[in-house]
């Protein structure tokens, strides 16, 4: 659809409004009328830009996915130290749960897997996340920061641990961790509980 600059701005405003509405009410409970009312538009105006609630949700998730990816890459590219890269990545995961709750919830909520793009996004996200962790761990082994015998399984283990932590400590999209608590979790993930 070839939109004018003014129409693109309006479309982006609808997406931003929908982010807040989905964050507050979740996908299943949100209606097109909710989005129209929150954005100050008529429902027919919303349908001019989006065919369905699912299409709006997809735009919201993709915008948050881009924000998340940029935050992750920015954080891990600030240092060459593999330990700091790992720490930065894990902290970003824990700290963005609240501000990018639609994205994180779409990845975790099995009730949203029936939406085709969510399932596809989850697969792409998983693939990229494992790849990022493997690269960080490999650079740590190469530079002598880490001693890992099976990088692929170590990456899987860390990712699974992080997902378990998120589902336990951050049970809903509005949860957040204090910096102190995030550091404590991070230390357990990085160093374990064995006295050295």
pLDDT of residue 174: 54
pLDDT at 164 over 90: no
Of 143, 131, 146, which Cα lies nearest the Cα of 189? 146
Is residue 195 scored above 70 in pLDDT? no
Going by pLDDT thresholds of 50, 70 and 90, the confidence category of residue 196 is low
pLDDT of 83 over the 90 cut = no
Write out pLDDT tens, residues 45-81. Answer: 999 999 999 999 999 999 999 999 999 999 999 999 9
Distance between first and last Cα of the chain: 61
Instruction: Check residue 20 and give its pLDDT.
Output: 94
Mean pLDDT computed over every residue of the chain: 86
Distance CA 178, CA 55 (A): 34
Helices (H), the chain: 5-29, 32-39, 43-49, 53-76, 82-95, 101-108, 116-142, 151-169, 179-191
Say if residues 33 and 41 touch (Cβ distance below 8 Å). no
Q: Measuring CA to CA, how many Å separate 125 from each of 27, 62, 120, 132?
A: 20, 11, 9, 10
Q: What is the pLDDT of residue 172?
A: 57
What angle, rounded to 10 degrees, do the helices at 5-29 and 32-39 form? 130
Q: The tokens of 59 are what? A: 């735009």
Confidence at residue 178, expressed as pLDDT on a 0 to 100 scale: 62
Query: Is the distance from CB of 103 to CB of 138 less than 8 angstroms?
Result: no
109 vs 48 pLDDT, higher one: 48
What is this structure's pTM? Answer: 0.83
Query: If residue 2 lies in a helix (H) or strand (E), which one and from where to where?
Result: none
CA angle at residue 127 from 121 to 132, to 5 degrees?
120
Half-sphere exposure of 12 (CA within 13 A, CB side): 8
Which pLDDT does position 182 carry in this prediction?
A: 67
């Amino acid at each position: 659809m070839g939109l004018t600059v003014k129409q693109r701005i309006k479309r982006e405003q609808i997406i931003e409004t929908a982010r807040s509405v989905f964050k507050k009410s979740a996908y299943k409970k949100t209606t097109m009328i909710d989005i129209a009312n929150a954005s100050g538009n008529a429902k027919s105006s919303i349908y001019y830009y989006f065919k369905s609630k699912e299409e709006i949700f997809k735009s919201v998730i993709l915008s948050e996915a881009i924000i998340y990816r940029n935050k992750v890459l920015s954080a891990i590219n600030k240092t060459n130290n593999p330990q700091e890269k790992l720490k930065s990545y894990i902290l970003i995961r824990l700290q963005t749960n609240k501000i990018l709750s639609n994205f994180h919830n779409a990845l975790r909520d099995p009730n949203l897997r029936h939406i085709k793009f969510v399932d596809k996004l989850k697969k792409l996200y998983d693939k990229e996340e494992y790849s990022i962790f493997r690269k960080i761990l490999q650079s740590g082994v190469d530079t002598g920061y880490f001693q890992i015998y099976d990088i692929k399984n170590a990456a899987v283990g860390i990712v699974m641990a992080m997902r378990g932590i998120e589902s336990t400590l951050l049970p809903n999209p509005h949860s957040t961790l204090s910096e102190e608590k995030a550091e404590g979790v991070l230390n357990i993930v990085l160093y374990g509980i064995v006295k050295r």
